[in-house]
Amino acid sequence: MWAVTDITSLRERRRLATAAEIEATALELFARSGSEHTTVDDIAAAAGVSPRTFFRYFPTKEDAALGVKRDFYAAVSERIPAGAVGLDELSRATAEALASFSAAFQHRMVRVRCLAEHDANLRHRALLLDAEQCRQRQQHLGGDVHARLLVETLAVALNAALDDWATRRHHGEDADLAEVFRAVCARQRALF
């Protein structure tokens, strides 16, 4: 048991490389034929691993393409202060997290969002990840109705902003994610 082992041991690096290879392959095949007409065997063969190994990395074929979504949640979550209980506070922290994304990461996000837009399987799986994330944050904030409303109401704005932003980006517009999010939050507030 490697006391303070380096994050990049050989095994760790190989694992990450394999996961990345599978993810890239899945994205390419899904973009070509849609997840509906792509089998796990297809992805595994194209990525150079056995189907059995595929399932050691991802629980479903859709998950293989949604790595960026998990990274997104990780990035946002670590920017949110522990004791936040106000919508303003959470929105601001979220916007700051969005503003910190690298160009490469933003590009990955756009790609996957555009893919999911026309792919029901991907959309559904992404929805479950969203819900799971909301559940975790909600319990982290107390688990009562107030926490639920807070987390889910924010999630609505966040997802709407992400889709709006990705669409604009995909159409060539140079939209700023944090700015789009703030604008969407304002529109949501205006509903009341």
Partner DNA sequence: CAGCCTAATGGCAGTCACTGCCAGATCGGC
Partner DNA sequence: GCCGATCTGGCAGTGACTGCCATTAGGCTG
Q: 89 Cβ partners below 8 Å, 6+ apart?
A: 81
Number of residues located near DNA, criterion CB under 7 A: 24
Q: Looking at residue 2, what DSSP letter applies?
A: -
Cβ-based neighbour number of residue 1 at 10 Å: 3
Q: Out of 28, 34, 46, 55, which residue is the one contacting DNA (CB under 7 A)?
A: 55
Interface residue with DNA, options 26, 29, 30, 38 (CB under 7 A)? 38
> Least distance from C-beta 3 to a copy of itself, angstroms?
37
- Which of 15, 107 has the CB closer to DNA? 15
State the alpha helices, DSSP H only, in the chain: 10-33, 40-47, 51-57, 61-65, 67-77, 87-99, 103-117, 120-140, 145-170, 177-190
Per-residue CA distances from 62 to 35, 53, 107, 111, 180 (Å): 7, 15, 19, 14, 27
Among 28, 164, 176, 179, binds a copy of itself (CB under 8 A): 164
Q: Taking contact as CB under 7 A, which single stretch among the options 5-13, 76-84, 143-151, 177-185 is the one that binds DNA?
A: 5-13
Alpha carbons 49 and 39: distance in angstroms, whole number: 14
Buried b (16+ CB within 10 A) or exposed e, 67-81: bbbeebbeebeeebe
Does the footprint of DNA cover residue 40 (CB under 7 A)?
Answer: yes
By CB under 8 A, tell whether 100 contacts a copy of itself: no
Q: Which is nearer to a copy of itself, 18 or 121 (CB)?
A: 121
CA nearest 19: which of 69, 46, 57, 74?
A: 57
Among 4, 7, 32, 52, binds DNA (CB under 7 A): 52
Note the residues at the interface with a copy of itself (CB under 8 A): 87, 123-124, 127-128, 131, 145-146, 148-150, 152-153, 156-157, 159-160, 164, 184, 187-189, 191-192
Note the residues at the interface with DNA (CB under 7 A): 2, 5, 9-11, 14-15, 18, 38-41, 48-53, 55-57, 59-61
